[in-house]
Structure 1
Amino acid sequence: MCRQQRAGAYIHLINGLYEAQRSNVPVLAIASTCASDEFGMGFFQETNTIKLFADCSGYNEIATTPKQFPRMLQAALQHAYSRSEVAVLGLPGDLTKSDAEESSTAKFLLKQQTVFRPADNDIAALAGKLNAASKITIYCGWGAGEAHDEVVKLAGLLKAPVAYSFRGKMAIQYNNPYEIGMTGLLGLPSAFYAMHHSELLLLLGTDFPYKQFMPDGLEIIQVDKRAERLGRKAKVSIGLAGNINDTLQALLPLIQQKKMIAFCKSSLRNMKM
């Protein structure tokens, strides 16, 4: 592969990794480079993978010995899976010709299924806010995809229209009598209307990126499993960290059944127009 071809391939790879990192898609990228004995020698195919991928990855290392590679591979896989981020592992050309060595660490991905939700008092406070409000819109992102049934049950109890992001569409739209479409750069007037005419907006599993579509002057509550994203792009009054499925399962028994109100009817009617 010539230098121009290698550069072009890396540009396409970087674009994809940026998208994956921003969207929290777990990816393992093995990035080849020149032989390790050519590092720092101006070799025509030398690539500093650490510097090149620093801004689009969570784990970013380069292995230079057969002992390192299996240990780094395990660390990269574990990082990509547990944090839903990009892991890049640099691979010098000479290392691919070396005999593999037995790893001193785990040899398979260690998956965990943990319950992750806010504390009981925080769940109770959230329920109190939702029970007291009369015009509620639920907005779901990709992070709420695991909780489709729970979202529909919550919307049914609150009589709240459900909008969603582009990535949340496939997981939230189907079999959802309260869905009113997307909002954002690719969106529908019905979702925009509902969000801007609510008194309370509940963000579930989303870090909504477009502030020009985010309404002002209403209360916003955000639930997301990544606590560092709470309140990052919206002025929230309550920010709770937890998996949406676990959080809603604890929340639903505390929610009072509301009657079908005009706000929900008008939002659904706008969706059909």
Structure 2
Amino acid sequence: MFRKTAGEALVDLLIEWGVDHIYGMPGDSINSVIEPLRKARDKIKFIQVRHEEAGALAAAAYAKLTGKLGVCLSIAGPGAIHLLNGLYDAKLDRVPVLAITGQVESDLLGTDYFQEVNLDRLFDDVAVYNQRIMSAEQLPAVVNQAIRTAYVKKGVSVLTIPDDIPTFELEKKALVTSTSYSVSEISPPLSELEKAREILDQAKRPVILAGKGAQHASDALISFADKLASPIVLSLPAKGTIPDEHPLCLGGLGLIGTSPAYHAMQTADTLIMVGTSFPFTGFLPEDANTIQIDIDPAQIGKRYPVDLGLAGEAGKTLSWLTEKIKRHEDRSYLEEHQKMMKEWWERLKKQEEQEASPMKPQTVIKALQKIAHDDAILSVDVGNVTVLVARHFRMTRQKFIISSWLATLGCGLPGAIAAKIAHPERQVFAICGDGGFGMTMNDFVTAVKYDLPIIVVVLNNHKIAMIKFEQEVKGNLEYGTNLHNPNFARYAEACGGVGFRVEKSEDLLPAFMQAKELNKPCIIDVVVDPDEAPMPSHITYAQMSGYARHMIKALFEQGKLELPPL
């Protein structure tokens, strides 16, 4: 009777944990894992990507969207190195991902063999669990521990497997452990909750800053804010937690935020941070009573001084406070900001309706809004496109995926691939700048190969436009930001998908409508104005001064300004 090999045991354990697909590329040091994957292809699907970075980014996006483990696979050496960017994205956004990497055979380790890299050291910083498997008998227990740790610590686990290990048969003495993990409920002490109630009862100008940790507590958040008469400001990863046009919502904060949110933060006397460790503290109040609610006690007071920390799950903590605080009848502060928000939307509407050549990118988001279903998934890349979608797309029940902490260019397309695999019945869009799309565009053929009808929207301005703006704000001349792009619509067709090239505003909505009806992988390549700057809602003196210096330098460079004679 044949015993299972370690490779077969690995695949069986992944299936037991509920893993139904893996992103990766075959190669010599993982062929002993690929074979058992082939045999189990009815239960677990291998998604062949064209670059391991895209596989890791897709695994991270899948975990962000579903809360389930994202899994990626690579060979030793170059393949494993390519995974790092996507794994750091998962680490910084705190989602569970398992990376399985090959390695040279056990008896060749330490000999500087072909493609040998010290993977233990390479992954040490990115991983919450990082182990090299050294025997078949060790494998089952280590796999379970790796997955359990990724879930519990919301991070990356890495298993490095020398090429010979998966071929060995498991002996009966192999350690058997559980394919499950337990979740604890965390609630703040009653004494701390009572202190919070006292602070909130005395608040005159309260503001809530809600982060990713509030995403699963939207009803509790709305009830709490309504009783407190408090506007809600959302961090970027929390976009969509409540609808953007909800009467309590002031949109985002910071360089991508809204003017009403900025004003509320500058005038608040009480700040309630819910499930966020907001890094841009310069936008937070200078003098306000601050309560921070977070399930991770280590995040409380990490970046911003707080008067009271409540270590607990957002929904239950907010529900307790809502029940105990008195209703704030004076709603003038909330109403003031609701009026400001109405004016803000009108201002954005005018930007979206501009008739210009080349097109303003805001008009592209308006067209997207018209065809996007309420349950659509938006995978948004990094750059000006982030600002545009964050401000101009009015979320209702849609899902929003982004590389929020690492902010890595190229995340849009892999995120859309993962979203369509997770939810094949839902509309999926990748909204990318030309710079971001250019980094991972080779994996559009992956969408074609696996018949994933995603719509990729490319804002094509032939520039790394956000960096151009940053250079100008520093008072520098633009340098190194021009891009030489292909025709992305023709590229889509070369890959076997469908492409639309849009250069006139009247062609924009028809292209979106056609892409929506085709139900095929599509790219909509929209030529937009390269000089449309991602203007912040509040412009500082330093930004104005820097931009003025840039303009003077530009005029000198063009010979339109001369120095006065001596």
TM-score, length-normalised on structure 1? 0.92
Q: Do the aligned partners of 2:77 and 2:115 also contact (CA within 8 Å) in 1?
A: no
Q: Do the aligned partners of 1:152 and 1:176 also contact (CA within 8 Å) in 2?
A: no
Pairing 1:122–2:192 present:
yes
Distance in 2 of aligned mates of 1:244 and 1:12 = 36
Q: 2:85 aligns with which of 7, 15, 20?
A: 15
Superposition map of 1:1-273 within 5 A: 9-100=79-170, 103-112=174-183, 114-173=184-243, 176-273=246-343
Q: CA deviation at 1:174?
A: 6.0
Distance in 2 of aligned mates of 1:193 and 1:174 = 17
Q: Deviations over 1:75-96 (max 9, x none)?
A: 1111111111111111111112
Q: Do the aligned partners of 1:145 and 1:171 also contact (CA within 8 Å) in 2?
A: yes
Q: Do the aligned partners of 1:74 and 1:105 also contact (CA within 8 Å) in 2?
A: no
Say which one has the larger Rg: 2
Distance in 2 of aligned mates of 1:37 and 1:186 = 53
Q: Do the aligned partners of 2:77 and 2:117 also contact (CA within 8 Å) in 1?
A: no
Q: Which amino acid aligns with 2:140?
A: P
Distance in 1 of aligned mates of 2:314 and 2:170 = 42
Q: CA deviation at 1:60?
A: 1.1
Q: Do the aligned partners of 2:252 and 2:261 also contact (CA within 8 Å) in 1?
A: yes
Report the CA distance shift for 1:101/1:131 in structure 2 as closer, same or farther (over 3 A): farther
> Which has the larger displacement, 163-172 or 120-129?
163-172
Q: Which residue of 1 aligns with 2:546?
A: none
Q: CA deviation at 1:193?
A: 1.5
Q: Which amino acid aligns with 2:122?
A: L
Distance in 2 of aligned mates of 1:115 and 1:107 = 21
- SS of residue in 2 equivalent to 1:29: strand
Q: Aligned-pair RMSD on alpha carbons?
A: 2.0
Report the CA distance shift for 1:223/1:39 in structure 2 as closer, same or farther (over 3 A): same
Distance in 1 of aligned mates of 2:168 and 2:104 = 14
Report the CA distance shift for 1:42/1:59 in structure 2 as closer, same or farther (over 3 A): same
Distance in 2 of aligned mates of 1:101 and 1:175 = 61
Gaps of 5+ in 1: none
Distance in 2 of aligned mates of 1:55 and 1:202 = 32
Q: Do the aligned partners of 1:140 and 1:172 also contact (CA within 8 Å) in 2?
A: no
- SS of residue in 2 equivalent to 1:171: coil
Q: CA deviation at 1:7?
A: 5.5
Q: Which amino acid aligns with 1:205?
A: G
Q: Which amino acid aligns with 1:16?
A: G
Q: Do the aligned partners of 2:251 and 2:261 also contact (CA within 8 Å) in 1?
A: yes
Report the CA distance shift for 1:82/1:267 in structure 2 as closer, same or farther (over 3 A): same
TM-score, length-normalised on structure 2? 0.46
Report the CA distance shift for 1:147/1:121 in structure 2 as closer, same or farther (over 3 A): same
Q: Deviations over 1:210-242 (max 9, x none)?
A: 123223122221111111111111011111211
Q: CA deviation at 1:111?
A: 3.6
Q: Which amino acid aligns with 1:256?
A: K
Distance in 1 of aligned mates of 2:245 and 2:164 = 54
Distance in 2 of aligned mates of 1:44 and 1:25 = 33
Q: Do the aligned partners of 1:220 and 1:234 also contact (CA within 8 Å) in 2?
A: no
Distance in 1 of aligned mates of 2:170 and 2:245 = 50
Distance in 2 of aligned mates of 1:213 and 1:11 = 37
Q: Do the aligned partners of 2:128 and 2:156 also contact (CA within 8 Å) in 1?
A: yes
Q: Which amino acid aligns with 1:116?
A: I
Distance in 1 of aligned mates of 2:340 and 2:243 = 16
Q: Which amino acid aligns with 1:226?
A: D
Q: Deviations over 1:40-63 (max 9, x none)?
A: 100121122221111111111111
- SS of residue in 2 equivalent to 1:257: coil
Q: Which amino acid aligns with 1:106?
A: T
Q: CA deviation at 1:115?
A: 2.7
Q: Deviations over 1:102-126 (max 9, x none)?
A: 65332412243x4311011111111
> Which has the larger displacement, 197-206 or 185-194?
185-194
Q: Do the aligned partners of 1:116 and 1:247 also contact (CA within 8 Å) in 2?
A: no
Q: Deviations over 1:27-52 (max 9, x none)?
A: 11112221121111001211222211
- SS of residue in 2 equivalent to 1:87: strand
Report the CA distance shift for 1:120/1:101 in structure 2 as closer, same or farther (over 3 A): farther
- SS of residue in 1 equivalent to 2:125: helix
- SS of residue in 1 equivalent to 2:272: strand
